[in-house]
Structure 1
């Protein structure tokens, strides 16, 4: 048994993880600095030997975390954060995939309840406009192809921005994208859940618009109740697949 403990689990990196890792290394070495512009997608794909889908997934994830940003007529650039913060954030992001998913969801419920309450108290008219635009984009995407994980995420991130709490907003940026990608991978939001989510989003928006913190927090908890129930079925990092067999999460 002691010998077995000396072995570590082998983590197989995806192309997306490898792309993110390379960007981290370039930032660490100083070859990429805040404000530097990345090469075009075509050139990056040729250099990395990957398809555009993998590259765009990596860049999109890095944008979600605020590590990269796209500027009009300028392309994709490294965000103007300090290098230690950028490096640490990317390192945490790569490790997040192996974290306990149940704990991530529980953390999300706590965060979003408080975020919704603060958004109802602090939101501006411009914030309402941004949240409503995100809701409309979510609805349009669902009508187009029936799945809108990224648009769903954007709605929640706009509420976080409206809270005017930079720490809570940053925490949302760190944990939520990986939760949403997990949902997409395992079709957690299938079976009509996406349509119900839009209706619940409308209720949340209304309470934020009415500046009713209690109702806003309550509606978020209701919105996330199915997810909370879902994670209770996960044990020791495993979940049941459609055939009732255990699969590693």
Structure 2
């Protein structure tokens, strides 16, 4: 029984996706009722209910009491987060994650060199100063480090890149702390942040990319 049940509801999810495509439903549209889905797919109501519950957990649909079930705006960050919860259990997958983060962040940085505002440049400088202050008190500036990188990715003004980056890094923030805990790493990291900031301030894409590439390799996230 337990080996059969997952197959049933996963197949139902696939079929619901087919119905969404056939009926040309999009974000904000209402899904057919449980009864209608059960009839159209020729499966039990309980299997339909399990499939809908899984889609709701993935943040792809929402049930409104007394109204029905609706398709939510696609949240790429949420879907990636779910996948990462499985990926991070595997050593090779963790290497893939680090590589993907590097690709996303470097491409976002290139865009940021053209699109960053003076306010964002100032914010990056403030985060570096805050990190130095935290470190002077003997505390690891994990949050400031995270926000330094996030502010740069935000400056790309590409929402999907930001969602991907947040999913890749937020889920595994402990990696930032482990990296900064290595002997002598904190001071070197701060110096690398300053180098990246100076290049960004000058909108120097080549220097910024080289500085970030070196920083990410040295960080060993």
Q: TM class, shorter-chain normalised?
A: 0.5 to 0.7
Summarize the alignment of residues 178-189 of structure 1 with structure 2, pairs less than 5 Å apart.
178-184=171-177, 187-189=178-180
Q: Report Cα offsets for 1:135-190 as digits up to 9, x if no partner.
A: 22222222223312221111000001111121211111110123431343xx3332
Summarize the alignment of residues 73-222 of structure 1 with structure 2, pairs less than 5 Å apart.
82=72, 85=75, 88=79, 91-92=82-83, 94-99=85-90, 100-184=93-177, 187-189=178-180, 190-222=182-214
Residues 135 and 201, structure 1, Cα contact 8 Å, conserved in 2: yes
Inter-partner Cα distance in structure 2 for 1:157 and 1:183? 13
Q: Report Cα offsets for 1:28-55 as digits up to 9, x if no partner.
A: 7758xxxxxxxxxxxxxxxxxxxxxxxx
Cα separation, partners in 2 of 1:225 and 1:88, compared to 1, 3 Å: closer
Residues 78 and 167, structure 2, Cα contact 8 Å, conserved in 1: no
The alpha carbon displacement at 1:208 in A equals 0.6
Inter-partner Cα distance in structure 2 for 1:112 and 1:226? 15
Cα separation, partners in 2 of 1:88 and 1:112, compared to 1, 3 Å: closer
- Greater helix content: 2
Q: TM-score, normalised by structure 1?
A: 0.54
Q: Does 1:226 align with 2:208?
A: no
Cα separation, partners in 2 of 1:159 and 1:84, compared to 1, 3 Å: closer
User: Which consecutive unaligned segments of at least 5 residues does structure 1 have?
Assistant: 1-23, 32-81, 232-249
Cα separation, partners in 2 of 1:84 and 1:223, compared to 1, 3 Å: closer
Equivalent pairs, count = 156
Inter-partner Cα distance in structure 1 for 2:155 and 2:201? 11
Q: TM-score, normalised by structure 2?
A: 0.60
Residues 81 and 171, structure 2, Cα contact 8 Å, conserved in 1: no
Cα separation, partners in 2 of 1:87 and 1:124, compared to 1, 3 Å: closer
**Alignment RMSD:** 2.9
Inter-partner Cα distance in structure 1 for 2:63 and 2:84? 20
